[in-house]
Amino acid sequence: MSGREDWWRGAVIYEIYVRSFQDADGNGIGDLAGVRARLPHVAELGADAIWLTPFYRSPMKDFGYDVSGFTEVDPMFGTDADFDALVEEAHALGLKVVIDLVLSHTSDQHPWFVESRSGREGPRADWYVWADAKPDGTAPNNWLSIFGGPAWEWDTTRQQYYMHNFLAAQPDLNFHNSEVQDAALGVARSWLERGVDGFRLDTVNFYFHDPELTDNPVLDPKLRNANTAPSENPYNWQDHLHDKTQPENLEFLKRLRALLDEFGGRATLGEVGESQRGKQVMADYTAGSDKLHMCYDFDFLAPDVPDAARVKEVIAGVQAAAGAGGGSWPCWAFSNHDTVRHPSRWKLDEPEQVRLMAALLLSLRGSVCLYQGEELGLGEAHLAYEDIRDPYGLRLWPQFKGRDGCRTPMPWEHAEPNAGFSDGKPWLPLAPEHVARAVDLQEGDPASILHAYRRLLAFRRAHPALSRGRLELEEAPDPVVAFTRSEANSRILCAFNLSNETRALRAPWAAHGLNGHGFAGRLIDGSLRLGPWDAYFGAEAPEAAAA
């Protein structure tokens, strides 16, 4: 896959939360040298690419998503030479390198913001979203921050408010200023020249705001799901029509795509934080060949348990938004560094459930993001309040405990101090239940979740229809999800029983069972028979079954 210009289409991208993957220098914080040392694990898993969370210079108020130097490696994570060596090693192992690009905002310590807040005149005075107070001194409008409270912070020097969609220490850039767009593209160009293969674009629909600063309307309480922010957060009480997802964003994305096309074989993955219109935004942002390559939203990162009906609804919704041509390209994820790990979020208590959901994820039309530790079946770690570091969790505790529970260190060797993550005290404690699922323990157990993921990734790679093909939902009674994946002359029937009871149903077409995936589902006399949390994969022709 790595030799194709469109390597990203159907790729499996392994997210590495750099702070928690591997610490090479013993300070308790993961670093680039540590990531490099553990790359063989990712290659052996069968992933096509890695996604590195931010490693740029930062005061770490939001652990790297508050950038104070876009083109500098923070000394906490290593040096420029460490990054270059990591890229070289990844490429030698056949892995593409995608880095997290945070463009919608900066740290309040970034030189751009320091200059912008110094006065209302000057070259960068308009580089951030500044607004006068209302006559009564209150904020310019009703916009809210995802991290809780108003999206406006008063600055005593300029005697104005500035906008922040996240922490007050993360002021939003003003993308209506063409110089800001040019600067953002300059940042991207510098990393492309360093050899990265693409960008995961943080909060890609947050770049532009309504310049009229129109109040957001109230959202119908029945629609206040918790996709973009936890349910405890009043952010969900508004319909965010004006503070993000503005039409001007499409033109900037075209400029960004044109830059990547100069280099060839590079890709973009956009994070769409949009609860009400996420599927349509994904489709709009990836339609054609002049905007983003891939997008993901929060359909399967939300708390809602994806029973069969929900899975079918999401698939059908994405297909409908893509249109008849199906030109847009989604990327799917069940876990990442911002959400409760999905085995805990969905109460997947048995290994069979975890394996079945992995098979479903890796069979959907689109690319896939796996989050470090997902291949071990890790659930959410439970931390004491005194161990919490996430500002989001500290603000909304105890109803919302933040994101630290999915960010604890990776367990490598169960008998080593700190499970082989670090010789020093880890920045977050390792969960004992994670140590019991360490990589070395699962390596020696052919029935482990780790081996299940390896089988599934190898199976996906062996059958291009699963990674690049079309998808057609088939009629199947709940709790079974069934669809056909097709590519060129190959068709594969995929069926999944999302229940703890054996199910039988008529097969939509005659298929011949495939091997190598680890599931026991059978097609006998035209009837699909699926055990509890079981799957079936069948090809159209007998010769394909031998592949």
543 pLDDT higher than 70: no
* pLDDT tens digits for range 86-103: 999 999 999 999 999 999
Give the active site residue among 153, 202, 243, 390. 202
Task: Please state, for a pLDDT cut of 70, what percent of the chain lies above it.
Answer: 97
SS3 99: strand
Residue 439 one-letter amino acid: V
CA 172/CA 146 separation, integer angstroms? 13
Selected catalytic residue, list 121, 136, 262, 386: 262
- Which CATH architecture is the domain 469-545 placed in? Sandwich (2.60)
Q: Could you tell me which CATH class the domain 12-103+178-458 is placed in?
A: alpha beta
Residue 545 pLDDT greater than 70, yes or no: no
User: Is 200:131 a contact under the CB 8 Å cutoff?
Assistant: no
Q: What is the pLDDT of residues 334-360, one digit of tens each?
A: 999 999 999 999 999 999 999 999 999
pLDDT at 513: 96
- pLDDT attached to residue 227: 64
Compute the average pLDDT of residues 135-160.
97
Q: Which two tokens stand for residue 41?
A: 């694990």
Q: 449-462 vs 32-45: helix axis angle to the nearest 10?
A: 70
Using DSSP's 3-state secondary structure scheme, residue 238 falls into strand
Q: What is the pLDDT of residues 99-135, one digit of tens each?
A: 999 999 999 999 999 999 999 999 999 999 999 999 9
pLDDT of residue 326: 66
Q: What is the pLDDT of residue 168?
A: 98
Q: Is 202 a catalytic residue?
A: yes
Q: Which residues pair with 486 in a beta bridge?
A: 470, 491
Query: What is the pLDDT at residue 419?
Result: 98
Residue of 528, 518, 449 lying closest to 484 (CA atoms) = 528
Per-residue confidence (pLDDT) for residue 237, from 0 to 100: 93
For residue 519, the model assigns a pLDDT of: 98
CB 410 within 8 A of CB 430: no
CB 395 within 8 A of CB 148: yes
**Is 440 known to be catalytic?**
no
Span 40-72, pLDDT tens digits: 999 999 999 999 999 999 999 999 999 999 999
Which three-class secondary structure string do you get for 451-516? HHHHHHHHHHHHCHHHHHCEEEECCCCCCEEEEEEEECCEEEEEEEECCCCCEEEECCCCCEECCC
Q: What are phi and psi of 434, to 5 degrees?
A: -75, -40
Q: Residue ranges of the domains in the chain?
A: 12-103+178-458, 469-545
Per residue in 388-439, pLDDT (tens digit) is 999 988 888 888 899 999 999 999 999 999 999 999 999 999 999 999 999 9
**pLDDT at residue 265 is higher than 60:** yes
Spatial separation of the C-alpha atoms in residues 58 and 67, rounded to whole Å: 5
The pair of structure tokens assigned to 70 is 């876009």
| Cα dihedral 374→375→376→381 (10° resolution) | -10
Q: What are phi and psi of 307, to 5 degrees?
A: -70, 180
Q: Which DSSP symbol is given to 228?
A: S
Lowest mean pLDDT among 12-21, 51-60, 295-304, 538-547: 538-547
The predicted-structure confidence for 200-249, as pLDDT tens digits, reads as follows: 999 999 999 999 999 999 999 888 876 677 778 899 999 999 999 999 99
Q: What are phi and psi of 203, to 5 degrees?
A: 40, 55
What is the predicted pLDDT for the residue at 226? 63
Percentage above 90 pLDDT, the chain: 89
Question: Which residues have C-beta within 8 Å of that of residue 120, sequence separation ≥ 6?
Answer: 130, 158, 160
User: What does the alpha-carbon distance between residue 530 and residue 535 come to, in Å, rounded to a whole number?
Assistant: 6
- Measure the CA–CA gap between 494 and 508, rounded to whole angstroms: 11
With H, G, I as helix, E, B as strand and everything else as coil, classify residue 541.
coil
